[in-house]
Structure 1
């Protein structure tokens, strides 16, 4: 079976080639993203393997179908970039990696929280310039603070446990409440109840029609003044312009994001010699209380190993016509 990989980075090739020794698929790696213009590059493949910022809309799927592509394999958990209705109409299964080391993303969220709170990034740069002053580096104890978590799936649950370990009071909002989290000490409550109480708000929910711009002008106004917001989930959960207004008014005290709504033209590439034309992102990055990383929350050895193994297992199940346990279907 031949598989074309889109949006490939060097580490994708390293991990997939290593674990493909047990499967024997023919893998071809392309660094370009999948979209209507590049779909033709999948000619001759039975499957395509795509990542978070690839375009898998109806037009792309129809082009893939005319080229006899029979499977879309996501090497990620999110599937908001796929037109599932079109895939079903074309009888093209879509499979994903539903859970790859939830510890990786949860721990990155905590790392961003700690870095932003204790100004580690600023202290590092100061020391390198022989500036040993502590002025402007004041943080706060996490112990005893109220942390609100939106979304208690695999990643959200790990984040909750870490925060409980710090001695935080943890509140959560989710359409499905986890009994294990309640027993661990997490208190579930409606969103409008937890926002005014939270010193720290962390997002761990999927992006869909119900959660797009979950953080907007109204929800920001309901938050405790000076609270910290963390997003390691999907950029579209946040209305960035509203966040900028909240930062300017100091309603929002600090922001840490590993994802950005318009990241597809920026993240996963070296643009150090280019002029960034995204004025919204550049304005956001001008704030001293904002920390941005480029979608690296998943980037651990354990996560990349699991992504490769699960994706290759999905391909094997398709070839052998066994149940596709990780298939995504339209609800």
Structure 2
């Protein structure tokens, strides 16, 4: 057997190996550096493209938010029920909530014979007056009127309950049953409320003018207290002045009693951003993101009133991944 002998590596060969290892490490470092820089550049590019695509802007507009107290109650309107003149299957000619003129056909009834089979004859049922058509009755049409506080005692008022009845499309009705009602939206409407004085913050007195709203952002409308009954547990009747159409279409709803109104630029709460301990928003100026400080005036739910912005500025509604100078599509 031959004997293997270990030959020491020469100095030149050792230097060559070290130099080669260094070059390999340098090349690897350079590749990693370039990859990192490329990834950073690509991330920045992708982020920029993403922001340009998803950013939503809206012009700043003046608005209002109100400090309010809930005021639940019943809406009293001038309404007239029309009963079915015969038994039959109903076809609606007017949509629910739509206004009809006096004498306009509202439904068509296809007559039924005693066995329940349809007969060939059709009869139109006309609106006896102009107003909003509703196929939903609640059983309070004959009870709730502007004289309710004079006619009913508190016990009777507390027992008010709706008894819903609705004539659906293509349903069968019997002669004499409620078919639809006509709500006169041009006549005065009223609001009957039941409250405790401590919850309202103070009494309502006859002839007092109150500011009302459906929600804190308005629009506001007005009412006049006509009649009040009770001590701490109070019933009051308010005459409404030009209420929104939504009020006239409802029976029960929580109106809001407005205590104070804050006016300014109205924004969604999501547009506010805190930066360096300050409140502000991002705006789009010449398609570039700019930071603007604002003063928060008042907040209700997901809406805010702020000072410090000019009306018409394009405010970014979803300020995510933004930075100064970011391009906004």
Q: Which has the larger radius of gyration?
A: 2
- Give the TM-score of the pair, scaled to structure 1: 0.17
Larger relative strand fraction: 2
- Relative contact order (C-alpha < 8 Å, sep 6+): which is higher? 2
What TM-score, normalized by structure 2, do the two folds share? 0.17
